[in-house]
Amino acid sequence: MLGGWMTQRTRMTLLTVTATAMSWSTLALAHASLRAADPTPNATVGAVRRIHLQFSETIAERFSSLRLTDTDGNPVPLMSLPARDASSLDAMPTSRLAAGVYTVSWTAVSTDDGHRTSGSYSFTVR
Amino acid sequence: MVLSDLARFVQFACALSVFGLAAWQRARLRATPAPAGGEEPRWLALYAVACLLGAAAGIGWLLAEAQTIGGTWTALGAVIVSTRFGAVGALRVALLALAALTAWAGRRAGSPWGTLGVLTGAAVLSFVWSGHGTAGAGPLRGLHTIADALHLVCAAIWIGALLMLSAVGVRAVAVRSPQSSHALWLALSRFSGIGPGLIGLLAVTGFVNSWILLGPAPWAALQRSLYGWVLIAKLALFALMLGLGWRHRYRSSPALARVLSAGAGAGAGAAQAGEPVLDCLRATLLIETLLAFLVLAAVAVLGNLEPPASPS
């Protein structure tokens, strides 16, 4: 009979499994904010081989993104790279960046609560 | 965002209500003049509908999230597979669907309160892991998780009690018999035994959650964010509930006891004298229950807002 199908042992097992399955060890600060970036904001660099964004918590890479635009606002082609960890986004320009000011625009979706944050910053290539 | 808030509210309302009521039934704290066998199937049918509604709202919420972050509702699968909140949300839908099945089948099988309590209790706890419940770093995160879980369980038990008391109060006014009035007084007395402890735990865990989410300057943070103003509204509603609870314990319940004492063997005159007490008690219990659901609505909105402690 479905109404009493669950024995006491089954109930405790279900509770334990549920609690364990939910005990994912993630560092969460409610929303994913940008903690560090390379190139750093407002930096002047010689060459850019990799753009690395480090967030405050685990992000859903599938729904997060970063874009690079040049001084005129034109998109710069990027190639996605395997992220260093579950809290970062990595990409590299497909060709050498000419001298100028570039803007990184990012969107990050927290895997904990699904909230989306976004931002941008600029750096200069000499 | 509005649809997401509504879906979250319905999930909260259904999961917390059924868990709270099941917990009371399981603990044998229900007081009713009618034979249990006659009432249980109706209650279980209601619980089944509530759980099904909660599961449907859960699916709606996941679809809304898929649309928001993935640009299309067809991203639902990716949301469930690649995000924690998606996986937990899907688990919650499954738990509520299973609870609905259990409650429905229990109408004939009888007394599935333990199983129902476990399933809906797990659904209630799942909210901790699909919102701000795990915010914080290091030991703070663990503290927040525990506080949030306790907060949810206490809230569910309080809401379950209010729903039960409201049902008994409505019956007492409809029937107006010494037995139904006594059942109401008995239910109130039993709740008053754990009420203060529940409220104390709610206050402490609520303070811990707010301290973690609002940051080191909580009062300033409250005033400069939408999150803060919604939290203030939630606290105001909570304060109103406390006021009504105080009235029930120190005014209404003693007044009902006096009416019952005077009415024993005194006939129709004493019964009529007790009618205003019953009417007032029914009204205030229903109002307090409504306030509880408004608190849940505020919680649903808070879950979609950014707490002030989040680094910008």
Is the confidence at residue B217, as pLDDT, over 90? Answer: no
- Tell me: pLDDT of A23 over 70: no
Q: What is the pLDDT of residues B110-122, one digit of tens each?
A: 678 888 999 999 9
Whether residues A29 and B310 touch (CB distance < 8 A) is answered with: yes
**Which residue in B79, B132, B141 is closest to A113 by CB distance?**
B132
**How close is the nearest chain A Cα to the Cα of B303, in Å?**
8
| A31 vs B67: CA distance, rounded Å | 19
- Percent with pLDDT over 90 in chain B: 46
Cβ-Cβ contacts under 8 Å, A17 against chain B: none
Per CB-CB distance under 8 Å, the chain A contacts of B312 are 33
- Position B51 confidence tier, pLDDT thresholds 50, 70, 90: very high
**Residue A33 in contact with partner chain B when CB distance is under 8 A:** yes
Q: Please judge whether B122 and A14 are an interchain contact, meaning their C-beta atoms are less than 8 angstroms apart.
A: yes
The DSSP bridge pattern shows strands A116-125 and A44-45 to be parallel
Q: With an 8 Å Cβ cutoff, is A17 touching chain B?
A: no
CB B303 within 8 A of CB A31: no
Q: Which two tokens stand for residue B239?
A: 């304060």
- Residue B165, pLDDT > 60, answer yes
Phi, psi of A100 (to 5 degrees): 155, -175
Judge: B122–A112 Cβ closer than 8 Å, yes or no: no
Q: What's the CA gap between A124 and A106, in Å, rounded?
A: 17
- Please state, in angstroms and rounded to a whole number, the distance separating the CA atoms of residues B62 and B41: 32
State the Cα–Cα distance between residues B2 and B196, nearest whole angstrom: 35
- Cα dihedral sign for B180, B181, B186, B191? positive
- Decide if B53 contacts B10 (C-beta within 8 A): yes
Asked if the C-beta of A28 comes within 8 angstroms of chain B's C-beta atoms, the answer is yes
Strand, helix or coil for residue B213: helix
Residues of chain A found within 8 Å of residue B43, distances taken between Cβ atoms: none
Alpha-carbon span B136 to B142, nearest angstrom: 8
Asked if B81 contacts B87 with a C-beta cutoff of 8 angstroms, the reply is yes
Task: Tell if the CB–CB gap between B129 and A24 is shorter than 8 Å.
Answer: yes
B251-276 confidence digits (pLDDT tens): 998 999 888 888 765 555 555 667 88
Average pLDDT over residues B32-43: 62
- In single-letter form, the type of residue at position B126 comes to S
ipTM of the complex: 0.74
d(CA B44, CA B261): 34
Amino acid type, B164: M
Amino acid (1-letter code) at residue B15: A
A30/B132 CB distance under 8 A: yes
Structure tokens at B210: 């707010």
Average pLDDT on B193-217 reads 81
Length of chain A: 126
Q: Report helix, strand and coil shares of chain A as percent, to nearest 5.
A: 15, 40, 45
Asked whether the beta carbons of residue B141 and residue A28 sit closer than 8 angstroms, the reply is yes
Q: Which residue of chain B comes nearest to A23, CA vs CA? A: B129
pLDDT of residue B193: 84
List residues bridging with A121 in a β-sheet. A104
Is A98 part of the contact surface with chain B (CB cutoff 8 Å)? no
Range name among B21-30, B82-91, B140-149, B239-248 with the lowest pLDDT average: B21-30
Helix (H) or strand (E) holding A15: helix A8-22
How big is chain B, counted in residues?
312
From chain A, pick out residues whose CB is under 8 angstroms from the CB of B99.
none
User: For position A21, what pLDDT does the model report?
Assistant: 40
Distance from the B69 Cα atom to the nearest Cα atom in chain A, whole angstroms? 6
Reading across the β-sheet that carries A78-81, which strands appear in turn?
Answer: A34-38, A51-55, A88-93, A78-81
Q: Which residues of B touch A62 (CB under 8 A)?
A: 70, 78, 82-83
B129: chain A residues, CB-CB within 8 Å: 22, 24, 112
Mean pLDDT of B286-301: 94
Q: Answer whether B147's CB lies under 8 Å from B202's CB.
A: no
Phi-psi region of B69 (alpha: psi -120 to 50; beta: other; left: phi over 0): alpha
Q: Which of A57, A65, A112 to mutate: most B Cβ within 10 Å? A: A112
Query: With 90 as the cut, is the pLDDT of residue A79 above it?
Result: yes
Enter the tokens of residue B137.
């770093």
Whether A19 contacts chain B with CB within 8 A: yes
Pick the closest to residue B249 from B199, B180, B206, B176 (CA basis). Answer: B199
> In this complex, is the C-beta atom of A90 within 8 Å of any C-beta atom belonging to chain B?
no
The identity of residue B30, as a single letter, is: R
Question: How confident is the prediction for chain B on average, in pLDDT?
Answer: 85
B109–A3 C-beta distance less than 8 A: yes
**Residue among A108, A67, A104, A72 at smallest CA distance from A87:** A108
End-to-end Cα distance, chain B: 21
Judged by a CB distance cut-off of 8 A, whether residue A40 touches chain B is no
Across the A:B interface, residue pairs with CB atoms under 8 Å apart total: 127
Alpha helix (H) ranges present in chain B?
2-26, 36-70, 76-82, 84-109, 113-126, 139-175, 178-214, 218-224, 226-247, 253-263, 268-273, 275-302
Tell me, what DSSP letter sits at residue B248? I
Distance from CA of A102 to the nearest CA of B (A): 22
